[in-house]
Amino acid sequence: IMHTGKVHVALVASPGMGHLIPVLELGKRLVSHHGISATIFVVTMDASLSRSQLLKVSGITDDFLDVVLLPAVDISARVDKTTGILRQMAMMVHEALPSLRSAILAMEVQPIALIVDMFATEAFVVAEEFMMFKYVFVTTNAWFLALTVHGPNLDKEVDQDDHINNQKPIHIPGCEPVRFVDCYEQFLRRNKVYFRMGTEISTADGILVNSFYDLEPLTLAALHDTRKVGLAPKAPVYPIGPLVRPVELSLRGEVLRWLDMQPKESVLYVSFGSGGTLSAKQTIELAWGLENSQQRFIWVVRPPVENDSAATVFKSNGVNNDFLDYLPEGFLNRTCKNGLVVPKWAPQTEILSHPSIGGFLSHCGWNSSLESIVNGVPMIVWPLYAEQKMNATVLAEHIGVATRSKLLAPKGVVGRDAIAAMIQKIMVDKEGEAIRAKVKMLKSCAVKAVSNGGSSYNALAIVAEECKIGMQRRNAKTG
């Protein structure tokens, strides 16, 4: 890998595909559009993950972009059932710091900046040691960023008690209020790791967010005018999205060939991301809802898990196709003409970009949401955990590219009739026309934003320019 003659930056991705995918895309964008050379450090607990696998998944071939897997971390001896997911994430990143440090030390051309995703701010200490710029990349939306940096500023007694005890909305200056039921669970629990994250994000030299102006105009304007709204970030916020994984032609397998044979915009894609799971009862209702809607579908099914909607976040559950036992009797036979059931994992961006897709029932992970938008696919939002309820509200209410069930309580079961009605609305009914039109419009805004001269392109260009100037200054000092 060549870093000489170029401005070199380092990126750090925390564990989880939902973070890794956008960080890889950011690295690619910096290199291909802005003349930077980049090294992406990947923190993982999966010792079987290989560099070649990652290069293949992300389609990286550029000479100026390298991916380095840090030695797999193992925190199993220090966690138990009570250790929250954010703390685990922070522990994993922390454990990877010595290897990150030595890797940077060993580099011929020292990177001028460290760009970490929002769960890897632990790595900022390394940036400080090496006198590098520190940037944070928020791989979700600006509204969640606003809540996160606003949290540590709140008057703990007054604001939070009002919010939590009286279930009042959180008012973030300049932004839509966050309803109690939508609020990120760690906020409600006053999770120390989460609030520390908010404080650390605010210490960055810049905050990159995977969003764009037309998607979140109000929130981004509020974050832009930091002093006026009294938000915590002293750093400028750069909306640089949507950064999504591009379509891999090599992934054209059975599912894509089946899609080739279906009419235009006739198929609903159903998936709950890399970690989402449903209960057994809900799985059955969903199956009936799909069947009764009489629409075509592709459903990525996981074995049901009770009372844990994030059951597969860091692990896969079930080894074979035992999920078939959980579907209603005869479901596969009755739906085999119209539907395709895929166990556990499907080539999602390839599916969503296919012309036969007409809707997406999604858990609203932010990557999935953006992938839907860039393909102009209207959604049914079915948030499960993490910040997904806020994402769902952005999609369904702030911008109107999705529909949602009023019954989607975290523990309640959504019935088959309600599901069939939502599917018909999004796919065929006149009622869903405005939603379908809006998402198509937003698709063209998204394309513009990341093209040469677009708002997100220009925002990233500013960051790249800062790095170039920083590098020149450093060279002038040392040279």
CB of 300 to ligand UDP, least distance (A): 5
Q: Which spans in 177-252 are helix H?
A: 185-188, 192-201, 217-224, 226-229
Among residues 3, 19, 150, 163, which one is catalytic?
19
- Alpha carbons 328 and 301: distance in angstroms, whole number: 13
Considering only the stretches 53-61, 215-223, 267-275, 447-455, report the one whose residues sit in contact with ligand UDP under the rule CB under 6 A: 267-275
- Alpha carbons 33 and 263: distance in angstroms, whole number: 36
117 in catalytic set: yes
SS3 content of the chain, % helix, strand, coil (to 5): 45, 15, 40
Looking at beta carbons only, is 41 or 366 nearer to ligand UDP? 366
Among residues 8, 34, 117, 354, which one is catalytic?
117
CB of 352 to ligand UDP, least distance (A): 8
- Alpha carbons 201 and 215: distance in angstroms, whole number: 22
CB of 315 to ligand UDP, least distance (A): 13
Looking at beta carbons only, is 157 or 254 nearer to ligand UDP? 254
Considering only the stretches 129-137, 145-153, 273-281, 332-340, report the one whose residues sit in contact with ligand UDP under the rule CB under 6 A: 273-281
Out of 15, 233, 239, 273, the only residue in the binding site for ligand UDP (CB under 6 A) is 273
Looking at beta carbons only, is 219 or 353 nearer to ligand UDP? 353
Looking at beta carbons only, is 18 or 151 nearer to ligand UDP? 18
CB of 310 to ligand UDP, least distance (A): 8
Looking at beta carbons only, is 133 or 366 nearer to ligand UDP? 366
Residue 17 engages ligand UDP in binding (rule: CB under 6 A): yes
What count of residues does the chain have? Answer: 479
- Alpha carbons 232 and 201: distance in angstroms, whole number: 9
Residue 242 engages ligand UDP in binding (rule: CB under 6 A): no
Token duo for residue 152:
């540590």
354 in catalytic set: no
Nearest-5° Cα angle at 209, 204 to 214: 140
CB of 268 to ligand UDP, least distance (A): 15
Q: Exposed, middle or buried: residue 315 (CB in 10 Å: 0-12, 13-18, 19+)?
A: exposed
- Alpha carbons 444 and 439: distance in angstroms, whole number: 9
- Alpha carbons 99 and 56: distance in angstroms, whole number: 24
CB of 317 to ligand UDP, least distance (A): 14
Site for ligand UDP in 349-368 (CB under 6 A): 349, 365-368
CB of 428 to ligand UDP, least distance (A): 25
CB of 194 to ligand UDP, least distance (A): 17
Residue 21 engages ligand UDP in binding (rule: CB under 6 A): yes
Out of 42, 73, 96, 300, the only residue in the binding site for ligand UDP (CB under 6 A) is 300
Looking at beta carbons only, is 200 or 371 nearer to ligand UDP? 371
How many contiguous H segments (helices) and E segments (strands) does the chain have?
A: 19, 13
Residue 12 engages ligand UDP in binding (rule: CB under 6 A): no
- Alpha carbons 435 and 157: distance in angstroms, whole number: 41
Residue 210 engages ligand UDP in binding (rule: CB under 6 A): no
Residue 37 engages ligand UDP in binding (rule: CB under 6 A): no
Looking at beta carbons only, is 295 or 348 nearer to ligand UDP? 348
Q: Exposed, middle or buried: residue 81 (CB in 10 Å: 0-12, 13-18, 19+)?
A: exposed
Considering only the stretches 14-22, 118-126, 128-136, 147-155, report the one whose residues sit in contact with ligand UDP under the rule CB under 6 A: 14-22
Tell the residue number behind the tokens 């454990």, with chain if given.
95
The DSSP output letter for 59 is T
Residue 371 engages ligand UDP in binding (rule: CB under 6 A): yes
The H or E element containing residue 136 is strand 133-138
Token duo for residue 211:
């969003």
Looking at beta carbons only, is 140 or 282 nearer to ligand UDP? 140
- Alpha carbons 351 and 314: distance in angstroms, whole number: 24
Cα–chain center distance at 48: 23
Burial readout 383-404 (b: 16 or more C-beta within 10 A, e: otherwise): bbbbbbbbbbbbbbebbebbbb
Residues that bind ligand UDP (CB under 6 A): 17-18, 21, 245, 271, 273-275, 300, 345-346, 348-349, 365-368, 371
Give the residue numbers marked as catalytic. 19, 117
